[in-house]
Amino acid sequence: MDPAVFDSLLGIGRFVLATTFLLLLTVPTAFIVGQMELKIMAQMQLRYGPNRVGPWGMFQSAIHGFKMLAKEDQTPDRADVPTFTLAPWMVFMAAAMSMLVIPFAPGIVAIDSEIGVIYFFAIIGLSVVGMLIAGWASYNKWALLGGLRASSQMLSYEVAMGLSLMGVFLVMQTLEPGAMVLWQGPNPLHWGWAVQPVAFVLFLFLWFRATFPRYRYDQIMRLGWKVFNQTSVIGMNTF
């Protein structure tokens, strides 16, 4: 076999294998991260958190996932069926495909790209489109308003999150996730949030935020557009 053809087939095989592995990894990862959020936030807020389903409440997040899968799959009568069906897949695939550039260990990454961070944010942004399309395709004004609300809420902090990373890029001089991990090293004082004073202040603010009850929808929007965006620009200009 021609070496060029063999290399192409090997690359395609590695991509298919990595994609399949990540698709199988996405759902358990969502359960684990959801469970960690429930338990850690409960500890910060001085409450028990999940403690009924399984040992120490370990299966609470998994039960939530199975409950969602057990719900009736109903399509509105006047909905655009192909688009309505595609919308949740867009949200799921955005989460799954974003993991292609995440380095899990040295050499264990599906796509080792020099612009991996840009790819990550470009792909994860499809989840916003999926929510908006789900509301629009249902042919229901209330569902459309719900989709607009969800997408606008996500945009309100995704813009600030993207701007806040500009300081990280300027410090590390790279957009490759693997190189960013190696730059930080094992020392917590060398991590991205520690070497940026504004990022450290935001970290403390989010820690403070987790200690108190959740914001309302309008408060989250105001915080994203009127506080986080401006603070992120200040942090970017610091470097």
Task: Look at residue 212 in the predicted model and tell me its pLDDT.
Answer: 65
Concatenated DSSP letters for 116-177?
Answer: HHHHHHHHHTHHHHHHHHHHHHTT-HHHHHHHHHHHHHHHHHHHHHHHHHHHHHHHH----H
CB environment 100-120: b (16+ within 10 A), e (fewer): bbbbeeeeebbbebeebbebb
Range of the domain at 57: 1-71
Report which residue type is found at 31.
Answer: F
What is the pTM (predicted TM-score) of this model? 0.69
- Is there a single domain that holds both residue 120 and residue 188? yes
- Is there a single domain that holds both residue 131 and residue 159? yes
Domain count, the chain: 2
Average pLDDT estimate for 51-73: 78
- Is there a single domain that holds both residue 59 and residue 96? no
Instruction: Among 71, 99, 119, give the residue marking a domain's end.
Output: 71
- Is there a single domain that holds both residue 93 and residue 193? yes
Distance CA 29, CA 217 (A): 27
- Is there a single domain that holds both residue 113 and residue 190? yes
Distance CA 68, CA 153 (A): 22
Tens digits of residue pLDDT in 130-146: 888 888 888 888 888 88
Tens digits of residue pLDDT in 1-40: 677 777 777 777 777 777 777 777 777 777 777 777 777 7
- Is there a single domain that holds both residue 146 and residue 232? yes
Instruction: Among 71, 95, 124, give the residue marking a domain's end.
Output: 71
Better pLDDT: 202 or 109: 109
Q: How many helices (H) and strands (E) does the chain have?
A: 10, 0
- Is there a single domain that holds both residue 58 and residue 150? no
- Farthest-apart Cα atoms in the chain, separation: 64
Measure Cα distances from 154 to 66, 74, 106, 151, 238 in Å: 25, 26, 32, 5, 26
- Is there a single domain that holds both residue 159 and residue 90? yes
Instruction: Among 49, 71, 93, give the residue marking a domain's end.
Output: 71
- Is there a single domain that holds both residue 93 and residue 119? yes
Which percentage of the chain shows pLDDT scores above 70?
Answer: 86
